[in-house]
């Protein structure tokens, strides 16, 4: 009989809610408020790739040596270059990086002898198509531009 009355009057439910409301302060937000507040990213985090340019002359630091492409276990980096007949050096023509296949292992970054290729702390890599995940030289040099939401 006692059990039946507890069930009818939802005593267990009310007791449970009392415990919840005793310990819950709606002003204490414990979940991440992304994208209103951007989370702090760990220093060692490896995110969006970046092809660095020389800040003094605006020229790419990449010497088109192809070592990053050779180091990549996924073969997702393509370095396009042509030989400059005057300097006899390789000039970088294009650079593609397929982030959809990347596992962000950092081997390409480590292989680069001139620190041109860098995996940054930018983590917003989502796109609406597979094509959007393929970064060309321009995106790699300018960096990704994630949407800034207003609240």
User: Shortest approach of ligand SF4 to residue 6 CB, angstroms?
Assistant: 59
- Residue in 77, 139, 140, 144 binding ligand SF4, rule: CB under 6 A: 77
Q: Which residues contact 86 (CB under 8 A, 6 or more apart)?
A: none
| Exposure string over 6-45, b if 16+ CB within 10 A, otherwise e | eeeeeeeeeeeeeeeeeeeeeeeeeeeeeeeeeeeeeeee
- Applying CB under 6 A, which part among 8-16, 18-26, 37-45, 101-109 lies near ligand SF4? 101-109
Stretch that binds ligand SF4, among 14-22, 114-122, 123-131, 141-149 (CB under 6 A): 114-122
Per-residue mark of binding to ligand SF4, 2-41 (x: CB under 6 A): ----------------------------------------
Residue with tokens 């950092």: 106
Task: Give the C-alpha separation, 84 to 90, whole Å.
Answer: 6
Task: Calculate the CA dihedral of residues 128, 142, 102, 94 and round it to 10 degrees.
Answer: 100
112 in contact with ligand SF4 (CB under 6 A): yes
User: Applying CB under 6 A, which residues contact ligand SF4?
Assistant: 62-68, 71-72, 74, 76-77, 79, 102-108, 111-112, 114, 116-117
């Amino acid at each position: 009989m006692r059990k039946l009355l507890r069930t009818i009057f939802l005593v267990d439910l009310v007791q449970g809610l009392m415990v919840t409301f005793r310990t819950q302060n709606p002003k204490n937000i414990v979940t991440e408020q992304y994208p209103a507040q951007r989370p702090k990213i760990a220093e060692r985090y490896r995110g969006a790739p970046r092809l660095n340019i020389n800040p003094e002359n605006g020229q790419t630091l990449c010497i088109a040596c192809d070592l990053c492409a050779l180091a990549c276990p996924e073969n997702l980096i393509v370095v396009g270059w042509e030989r400059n007949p005057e300097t006899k050096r390789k000039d970088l023509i294009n650079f593609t990086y397929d982030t959809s296949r990347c596992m962000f292992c950092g081997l390409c970054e480590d292989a680069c002898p001139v620190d041109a290729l860098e995996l940054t702390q930018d983590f917003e890599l989502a796109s609406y198509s597979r094509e959007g995940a393929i970064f060309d030289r321009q995106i790699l040099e300018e960096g990704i531009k994630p949407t800034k939401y207003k609240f």
